[in-house]
Structure 1
Amino acid sequence: MAKIPVIEQCTVSYKEDKHLLADQLDVYLVNNRNLVFPHRHNFYHLVLFLQGGGSHEIDFKTYSVSIGQVYCMGPGQVHSWMFEGDMQGYIVNFDIDYFKSLLLRSDYIENLSIFSSLNESVFSLTEETLKQVIPLFEQLVGLKNSPSEDDLKRTLLLYILLKLEQDYRPSFPTKAMDYQMLLIKNFIALVDLRYKDLHLPKEYAELLFVTPNHLNGVCKEYLGLQAGEVIRNRIHLEARRLLILPDWTISQVAYELQFSDNSYFTKFFKKVEGITPEEFRKSQWK
């Protein structure tokens, strides 16, 4: 049984900069041709496809490559790719603290919708946005051998991320950014942050200064899910990620997710997944 490795930023970055990698996709694939197996990162990772085919998998879901498609991943997500043909585009990796000296809010990047584990951050850019971001990516790649231009690189990358965020449409219905949508975004960000120790909608409602009924109603309207389902889905996702690590026992996974005992965790997982944790683990490593 193989272990899902964690790829560290320093193993794929250039010597000139251990905190940022920005490159043409085809060049990156030549330099990292062996990274086709399932793995996870300890850094942020995004790719823009301009040519090529095949597919890529993020957190157990497969996506077909399309021209103008972007995928954005945060630390800890599991992925692999099965590319076909002449792959062209851009790839950017940056570590968790890359914007620490630039932004007043240290959690700003992790709260962007494009990096939320509860959203599917695989989407196609509009033609107008694509025209705008390609020169930005080119400029960022052109600075890869210029370690003295750190502030310029940070600013360029932040601008790219904000353009992607502006073009991104989450899976819930598109509406104007009103109070209700802001509540949903804050709820999703909070679940991403506190899913291990807060399991009840009322706990999140209290932190968001709304009633549990109001939070539940807004979740139903925008997401088509109960607030409790949103929380359970995030716990379930992390459970799946941890269960594919063979050096973790079922007890360790349950403890990490703060379940009171193994039986409660097994009952929770089987209700959501349809099979037990042991059966899920076996299915992933046949």
Structure 2
Amino acid sequence: MVSKIPIIKQCTVSHNQQQGDLMVEDLASYLDRNKNLIFPHRHNFYHFLLFTKGGGRHSIDFETFTVAPWQIYFMAPGQIHVWQFDEDVDGFVVNFNKDYFKTLLLRPAYIDQFSFFSGLVKDEVFTVDEAERTAVVNIFERLRGNVQDTEFAQISLLYLFHVLEKQRMLPQEVEGNAYNHTLLRNFMGLIEVNFRELRLPKEYAALLYITPNHLNALCKAFLGLSAGELIRDRILLEAKRLLVIPDYAISSIAYELNFNDNSYFTKFFKKAVGKTPDEFRRSIDLINKQDGK
């Protein structure tokens, strides 16, 4: 039987008093209570961290970052991550369930509009602007003291998301681009649902009622990648997530990802990653053993 990547539930990492839909805590105390959670794992809730001091390493979906003060890390449900932090690290950690905003928003998927909930790791890690740091810390502190006041906490979280999103907006991201942003987010959502079956940009373009050229230009303009590269990268990410499972046969992974045969999957993976699936699996095992020393 395949041993899956552990899925951590919010109730297992929260204070007894904070087993609702939202948890806000000092990062140092959270890490002290969950000091054994140093193996690769995923959550069934949204999870984000703000570092105010300390350092270390933090990997999200196989991309590793050197931690520095005032970095913020967002993670969506299902993403694999693992950390190795210094003893003096501190800041804030927030966990909230998928349906947390259901009672406040008519459209709970509203939070998907924020770039750091895109599911793309490059959008999920950034540094808080110096001009916003005092305001951001104040919001975290108010949240920590008012977790049980659901409406206050929901509005405060949304305000925090808008503050962080505003600092990331480029001058050219004006209101006239709203349609293109919506198209791009819809494309990313379609990839998430269909990447196992649909591999060609023209298939997604048809679902979006635009031409493949329009879709490709859109992806290049906003993400610097072609539509085909985004589809490929999502397939590769899922392959990497499955390869972390030690006793999951590579042939079974190829079948799950809808490749015709194991050799085609191996060629596809090696061309993109520079390693065969088996070599990638061994390298991840080696890193995990070194981190566990």
- Check whether TM > 0.5: yes
Q: Which one-letter code corresponds to 1:175 in the other structure?
A: Q
Give the Å deviation of 1:48.
0.6
1: CA distance between counterparts of 2:86 and 2:146?
28
Aligned to 2:12: 11
Q: Which one-letter code corresponds to 1:280 in the other structure?
A: F
Q: Which one-letter code corresponds to 1:281 in the other structure?
A: R
2: CA distance between counterparts of 1:111 and 1:253?
32
Q: Which one-letter code corresponds to 1:26 in the other structure?
A: A
User: CA contact under 8 A between 2:195 and 2:231: conserved in structure 1?
Assistant: yes
Aligned to 1:102: 104
Matches within 5 A, 1:63-212: 63-120=65-122, 121-144=124-147, 146=148, 149-168=149-168, 175-177=172-174, 178=177, 179-212=179-212
Q: Which runs of 5 or more residues in structure 2 are unaligned? A: 287-293
Q: What per-residue deviation string (whole Å, max 9, x for no partner) do you get for residues 228-286 of structure 1?
A: 01110111111101110124332432343333443332332222122222222122213
1: CA distance between counterparts of 2:127 and 2:112?
21
- Indicate whether 1:229 and 2:232 are aligned: no
Give the Å deviation of 1:83.
1.4
Q: What per-residue deviation string (whole Å, max 9, x for no partner) do you get for residues 120-140 of structure 1?
A: 110011123222221111111
How much identity, in percent, do the aligned residues show?
51
Q: What per-residue deviation string (whole Å, max 9, x for no partner) do you get for residues 9-47 of structure 1?
A: 110123333322111111111211112222221211100
2: CA distance between counterparts of 1:273 and 1:59?
14
Q: Given the two structures, how large is their TM-score scaled by the length of structure 1?
A: 0.87
Aligned to 1:32: 34
Give the Å deviation of 1:181.
4.5
User: CA contact under 8 A between 2:61 and 2:121: conserved in structure 1?
Assistant: no
1: CA distance between counterparts of 2:98 and 2:107?
13
Q: Which one-letter code corresponds to 1:103 in the other structure?
A: L
CA RMSD of aligned residues (A): 2.4
User: CA contact under 8 A between 2:63 and 2:121: conserved in structure 1?
Assistant: no
Give the Å deviation of 1:3.
6.5
Aligned length: 280
- Indicate whether 1:248 and 2:248 are aligned: yes
Question: Do the aligned partners of residues 39 and 220 (structure 1) sit closer, same or farther apart at CA in structure 2, a change above 3 Å counting?
Answer: same
Q: Which one-letter code corresponds to 2:129 in the other structure?
A: T
Larger mean CA deviation between 110-119 and 120-129 belongs to 110-119
Question: Do the aligned partners of residues 111 and 252 (structure 1) sit closer, same or farther apart at CA in structure 2, a change above 3 Å counting?
Answer: farther
SS in 2 for 1:86: coil
Aligned to 2:290: none
Q: Given the two structures, how large is their TM-score scaled by the length of structure 2?
A: 0.85
2: CA distance between counterparts of 1:218 and 1:61?
25
Question: Do the aligned partners of residues 198 and 113 (structure 1) sit closer, same or farther apart at CA in structure 2, a change above 3 Å counting?
Answer: farther
1: CA distance between counterparts of 2:189 and 2:168?
16
Aligned to 1:216: 216
Q: Which runs of 5 or more residues in structure 1 are unaligned? A: none
